[in-house]
Structure 1
Amino acid sequence: MPWKETTIMEEKIEFICEWNSGKYTITELCKGFGISRTTAYRMIQRYEKLGIEGLRMKAKAPINHPNRTNIEIEKRILCLKEKHKHWGAKKIKVLLFNDFPEIQIPSVVTIHNILSRNGMVCPQKRLRRVKPLYPIFDPKDCNEVWSADYKGKFLMGNKKYCHPLTIADSKSRFLFTAKAHYKENYKSVKEEFTRVFRKFGLPKQVHTDNGIPFGSVSAIQRFTTLSYWFIDLGILPVFSDPAHPEQNGRHERMHRDLKAACAAPSAYDLRAQQRRLNSFVREYNNLRPHEALEMRTPAREHQFSDIPFPEKIKPYVYPAHMKTMNVSKSGAMRWKAYYWVYMSSGLIGKQVAAEEIGNGVWKVFYRNVFLGYFNEKDIRDKQNITRLSTNLV
């Protein structure tokens, strides 16, 4: 009878038992089990040499294969993955060029299979793709737009929260800083921006979300005290639409890598956490290949800004045809001695200017940035303070 697929080992053992009994010839056994004499003699030979273990099925795959990846390259792949646990096959392949000639570098699929075979690939949750919303900030040159945000707070070992401030160039993805703060406030953000501006120069725009201290949805043009400081430096603050962080998606994607590298788990205190963040910034800029940059590093793509940081802000001279006014401690400007137009608490102590466009409607500017409109008729009718509006009415 032929071998049964599910009981091959049992059939082999039965064949050896019948042969050991001496009651049957090889010819009779081969006929009864439905096998050839060659197979029978091979089983007997293996049994006599290795015992029952010799009857087990042996792998038929060749020990060596001409297309198999070099063992030294495999070891290097596993070493790189161990060092950069959150990197995939694409990024690891780029680093292999530093150690081996191009002809020996395996494909991305092969590298992935090597990692998977060694249990070093974690399946990722598939994300639901959504239709992109606009505006999407896509600069064409370095220092055209910088992005900034606070990575969500996380608890450190000393039971205090860390708030990492991150600033990056939107074109080259170069990460200028990841600064650990205890709180999210204007003073801390201004100090870190000042340090970065002095070292790397100024951008044309800074793109943020609408959270304090970057923006405020209830303020005129969403500008805050930090926004007006940017304007003083000649930088235009721009914002994502409220509740749409995907408009700054490249910055949010960087935050995901930062969280995996520095917050899971976190360090004991702020000083130790800052060392982790500094290490992440160095690796992100100088070592980690970036797919959006055709697998080049941000440090290789970034160029320093040619706009230096001014240690002293020069006063702005408005055109002669504009009416200039000071913003009082209440955040409002006086209009014709009797009336008030509320501006913003961020403008307290600063000078704004108004330009008439006809029918009693005025446009208000801070330096060269438009803030909003107000109508003289509305002020006289209300006989009290009125607010600046971004809509022409």
Structure 2
Amino acid sequence: MPWNEVKPMDEKVKFIADYLRGELAFKALCALYGISRKTGYKWVRRYHAMGLEGLQAQSRRPHDSAVTPYVVRQAILELRNHKGDVLGPKKIQPLLAARFIESLIPSQTTIYNILKAAGCVKSRRRINRTLRSIQPLKTATQVNQLWSVDYKGQFKLGNGQWCYPLTIMDHASRYLLSCQGFSGTTGAEAKAVFEQLFRQYGLPERIRSDNGTPFASVGVGGLSKLSIWWIRLGIIPERITPGQPQQNGRHERMHRTLKLRIGQPGAADLTQQQVILDEFLRHYNEDRLHESLGQCVPKSVYQSSSRRYPESLPELVYPDYFERGRVCQSGLIYWRSLRVYIGYLLRGEWVGLELVGEGIWDVYFGPIRLGSLDEREVKGTKNDYLTLKVSPMSLN
């Protein structure tokens, strides 16, 4: 009986049928079909284990790269959209561990390939970016060393009103401290949110923001009313380089998750939109696993600050070798019979002056260097006016 006269599968079925009838000894049966007894026993084992499907041609791939079971593949596709989040292989893999034994959990590469085969992953065009030399901002390794703040891009609500979500996050723990929707970007509203957070969680060491209102201004040192208040509380403001949002990358990544979560268009009004924002905050802190946290949720990592919010605003303290000047309502300080314009935003505040050279003084507001002045360059009709040479914000 030549083998190539029939399909291999048909030949295997006939072999099993003859084996089940038991009319021939096994050695003779294998000789009749032109196969070894080892092959014959293999077919019999597969038939008893899996029925006729076991006689199909088996994959020659190693056992450790076997086909992922159907139920596991279905679970991967189900977890792709988990509690409103779009998860990748790194987050899906630990969730599979809660459902299946370890030997059934595929690698992250296999999970990715399953998602891609199902059309859940879209290939992105690779963009070659020019490397830029920028001075990286100081990172944070402990909670409350650094908070970040920003407004998520505005969007319209059903009633035509604009919504600007103000988001504040702890850098190290990814804990989302606030996600509050407003109709604008006023300093008074932002300050009220921060005051509530300071009372609840204590004070951070630094707060990082972009250069937009109300976090910064075009005034001296780029200070705003909000950042001046932070400095009085002993908090150092940080600002990213304009046009470099990656310097606040963790916050930007959270905003991308927020955008996917809340969707568009917005709710009917600001009150209903806040319900959605509140639910996102709870989900982000309590449900969403973070790879950087060892697949833990932010709530399990974050702790309140030991620096408590003071009941009264403390005065700034300067070293003994500094001279001091108080900014009047016009934005001037009267110092050594000279007038120096500092800026109206600092009216009522004390600034410190440090002698750094012959007649040259650096001017500080708290730890922030505002600029320098040379008392030899007096001018004006009374020959008593000095101009502050403003410099980029730096720390003492």
TM-score in same-fold range (> 0.5): yes
Equivalent positions of 1:270-281 (< 5 A) are 270-281=270-281
- CA offset at residue 146 of structure 1? 1.5
Question: Is residue 370–residue 391 contact of structure 2 (8 Å, CA) maintained in 1?
Answer: no
Q: Kindly provide the CA deviation profile for residues 290-319 of structure 1, in whole angstroms up to 9, marking residues without a partner as x.
A: 233343333333333221121221233444
Distance 1:93 1:130, change over 3 A: farther
- The TM-score normalised by the length of structure 2 is 0.75
Equivalent AA in structure 2 for residue 177 of structure 1: S
Q: Kindly provide the CA deviation profile for residues 41-92 of structure 1, in whole angstroms up to 9, marking residues without a partner as x.
A: x8xxxxxxxxxxxxxxxx9996999945455444443333344352222212
**Where does residue 143 of structure 1 map in the other structure?**
144
- CA offset at residue 212 of structure 1? 1.1
**Where does residue 358 of structure 2 map in the other structure?**
359
2:317 and 2:301 mapped to 1: Cα distance? 37
1:112 and 1:61 mapped to 2: Cα distance? 31
1:103 and 1:302 mapped to 2: Cα distance? 34
Confirm or deny that 1:180 pairs with 2:184: no
**Where does residue 371 of structure 2 map in the other structure?**
372
Question: Is residue 168–residue 174 contact of structure 1 (8 Å, CA) maintained in 2?
Answer: yes
Distance 1:387 1:165, change over 3 A: farther
Distance 1:260 1:64, change over 3 A: farther
2:207 and 2:240 mapped to 1: Cα distance? 11
Equivalent positions of 1:2-81 (< 5 A) are 38=6, 67-81=66-80
- CA offset at residue 228 of structure 1? 0.9
Moved more, 163-172 or 76-85: 76-85
Instruction: Structure 2: state its 5+ residue gaps.
Output: 11-52
**Where does residue 88 of structure 1 map in the other structure?**
88
Question: Is residue 148–residue 208 contact of structure 1 (8 Å, CA) maintained in 2?
Answer: yes
- CA offset at residue 37 of structure 1? 5.8
**Where does residue 345 of structure 1 map in the other structure?**
344
Q: Using the aligned pairs only, state the percent identity.
A: 36
Question: Is residue 354–residue 362 contact of structure 1 (8 Å, CA) maintained in 2?
Answer: yes
2:288 and 2:127 mapped to 1: Cα distance? 23
1:121 and 1:61 mapped to 2: Cα distance? 35
Q: Kindly provide the CA deviation profile for residues 131-183 of structure 1, in whole angstroms up to 9, marking residues without a partner as x.
A: 25422232232222221111111122222111111111222222211111111
Describe the SS at the equivalent of 1:176: strand
Describe the SS at the equivalent of 1:164: strand
2:318 and 2:5 mapped to 1: Cα distance? 107
- CA offset at residue 385 of structure 1? 4.6
Describe the SS at the equivalent of 2:378: helix
Describe the SS at the equivalent of 1:341: strand
Equivalent positions of 1:183-194 (< 5 A) are 183-194=184-195
2:286 and 2:56 mapped to 1: Cα distance? 42
Describe the SS at the equivalent of 1:249: helix
- The TM-score normalised by the length of structure 1 is 0.76
Confirm or deny that 1:239 pairs with 2:265: no
Question: Is residue 173–residue 293 contact of structure 2 (8 Å, CA) maintained in 1?
Answer: yes
1:61 and 1:282 mapped to 2: Cα distance? 53
Equivalent AA in structure 1 for residue 209 of structure 2: T
**Where does residue 199 of structure 1 map in the other structure?**
200
1:285 and 1:309 mapped to 2: Cα distance? 23
Distance 1:89 1:308, change over 3 A: same
- CA offset at residue 236 of structure 1? 0.6
**Where does residue 8 of structure 1 map in the other structure?**
none
Moved more, 151-160 or 228-237: 151-160
**Where does residue 12 of structure 1 map in the other structure?**
none
Instruction: Structure 1: state its 5+ residue gaps.
Output: 1-34, 43-58
Distance 1:84 1:317, change over 3 A: closer
2:258 and 2:148 mapped to 1: Cα distance? 15
Confirm or deny that 1:229 pairs with 2:229: yes
Equivalent AA in structure 1 for residue 278 of structure 2: N
Moved more, 181-190 or 366-375: 366-375
1:265 and 1:111 mapped to 2: Cα distance? 32
1:285 and 1:226 mapped to 2: Cα distance? 26
**Where does residue 100 of structure 1 map in the other structure?**
100
1:85 and 1:123 mapped to 2: Cα distance? 19
Question: Is residue 214–residue 226 contact of structure 2 (8 Å, CA) maintained in 1?
Answer: yes
Distance 1:297 1:130, change over 3 A: farther
- CA offset at residue 289 of structure 1? 2.4
Question: Is residue 379–residue 385 contact of structure 2 (8 Å, CA) maintained in 1?
Answer: no
Question: Is residue 220–residue 389 contact of structure 1 (8 Å, CA) maintained in 2?
Answer: no
Distance 1:74 1:164, change over 3 A: same
Equivalent AA in structure 2 for residue 291 of structure 1: E
Describe the SS at the equivalent of 1:378: coil
Q: Kindly provide the CA deviation profile for residues 183-234 of structure 1, in whole angstroms up to 9, marking residues without a partner as x.
A: 1011111111112222222111111111111112x32222111111111110
